[in-house]
Structure 1
């Protein structure tokens, strides 16, 4: 009997060691996964004047961070190198302190000491809702379209678009925008034949044959250089012309042509709709 009990005890010990070993190996393998680099680019042009628009924007940011946090914690948080940040395209004349909010809305775990990683991500998660509420209130500073000069998406991505790629990472850039590249002053726009840095040429694409016109006359945005190693998601595209039922197709066409010509190979578009529907479509791409 003693021998039987002894053998059982030894077997039990070996089983425990085996299970613990497998758990450790699994955790290490999870820790070796490709780290995330999530960047959100927020357009704060006159689109913010629409009812509940900013609330939808903030929900997308929160949902994307939830995915980020889940993935960061799935393996060994101590080895996590994941990155999450919210960038704001500068609005000319806006009193918004862009640097203040961008600093509060970024977390780079690869730059955090091992002993602090868990605390940093926990603190970020707990303060994110209040930071976004603060940003929501500060973003709307005018009551008419004239109060908003327009954000320069083209120039912004020209200058820092490639910084959204980090070698060895799973790079995702979410651009939250209505899809328009518009300005109050036309002298801000560059032109090269029928290529522009704004989408004001969309007015020339009329009728059911608008795509043929666009192809024949080569209307579009001036190409820049963007990384093919970034998953570009453009979310919130909508029509500003209620009389043109094809407007969103035109905007999507312009974006797709521009992204493709600029070197992007992985891109997706989400039309402006309910917050939950947009969130669901975003999660499908992450």
Structure 2
């Protein structure tokens, strides 16, 4: 009987030791977070309260980042937050200035100043965005805004929005159109373009079937697979076409998927509350 009890004791002891060693060998390491905003300041910002809604989303997005950065000790945080503005021809806006003051890389911040830097950005963000609003609205007519080249910007900078070893999230604020006053510089490969000019060919109820049969879409680029994309502010420009937002979302989704992105979600333009609730629900 004593031998049996002794043997059982040894089995239990070895089992506990093996389990403990196994746990130690495979610790759960949470990746730091990299929160990026990409902002489209083309003539879409002339819509009433559009920038107010855009900046409200940025503030909410920052709050999520701040909570993440403080989830343990902020002193050890390596989380990142940044706002990127797509360049626009003839715009007087000092893009570099705003990108510099709207970013915080805690992995590059001295330990003793991390908490102070996080607090300072939290406090200054509303004022900085208010100043950005005033400077971004430099004209009252759509012709004052050349337009932004979303395709070219992401072709050149898309992969740089993600950081290796991080949990990457990109909030892209735009109405979703890849269009310009002139189509002269648009690239084309068969029925794939660097603009959404092909939407003009899809005006009937069977637009999706036509687009699939003719393989309409945007020219794919290279983006990081594991970066989560949220495209917010999708909005139609033609009142006569009630399916425009559905079309834009469809082609964005198709493009991001063909470009390698594994997860993408979309927020339609609406009220502050509607857009914010949708955004937070997807983070």
TM-score, normalised via structure 1 length: 0.88
Residue 76 (structure 1) aligned with residue 73 (structure 2):
yes
**How much does 1:33 deviate?**
3.1
**How much does 1:104 deviate?**
0.6
Aligned residue in 2 for 1:239: 236
Q: How does 1:148-167 map to 2 (within 5 A)?
A: 148-167=145-164
Aligned residue in 2 for 1:248: 245
Structure 1: where are the runs of 5+ without partners? 1-28
In 1, distance between residues paired with 2:143 and 2:196?
A: 18
Give the 3-state SS of the residue equivalent to 2:232 in structure 1: strand
Aligned residue in 2 for 1:38: 35
Residue 59 (structure 1) aligned with residue 50 (structure 2):
no
Q: What are the Cα deviations for residues 85-131 of structure 1, in whole angstroms up to 9, with x where unaligned?
A: 00000011100000000001000000011111111111111111100
In 2, distance between residues paired with 1:149 and 1:181?
A: 12
Picking from 131, 134, 137, the partner of 1:134 is: 131
Number of matched pairs: 257
In 1, distance between residues paired with 2:257 and 2:65?
A: 27
Picking from 171, 174, 183, the partner of 1:174 is: 171
Q: What are the Cα deviations for residues 4-56 of structure 1, in whole angstroms up to 9, with x where unaligned?
A: xxxxxxxxxxxxxxxxxxxxxxxxx99x6321100000000100100100000
In 2, distance between residues paired with 1:65 and 1:195?
A: 35
**How much does 1:74 deviate?**
1.7
Which 4+ stretches in 1 moved above 2 angstroms? none
Residue 210 (structure 1) aligned with residue 207 (structure 2):
yes
Aligned residues of 1:149 and 1:185 also touching (Cα < 8 A) = no
In 2, distance between residues paired with 1:192 and 1:100?
A: 37
**How much does 1:157 deviate?**
0.4
Q: What are the Cα deviations for residues 144-200 of structure 1, in whole angstroms up to 9, with x where unaligned?
A: 111111100000000010011112211000100000001111112111121111111
Q: How does 1:179-198 map to 2 (within 5 A)?
A: 179-198=176-195
Picking from 229, 248, 253, the partner of 2:226 is: 229
In 2, distance between residues paired with 1:186 and 1:139?
A: 24
Give the 3-state SS of the residue equivalent to 1:188 in structure 2: coil
In 2, distance between residues paired with 1:33 and 1:229?
A: 15
TM-score, normalised via structure 2 length: 0.89
Aligned residue in 1 for 2:6: none
Cα RMSD of the aligned pairs, angstroms, is: 1.2
In 2, distance between residues paired with 1:104 and 1:165?
A: 19
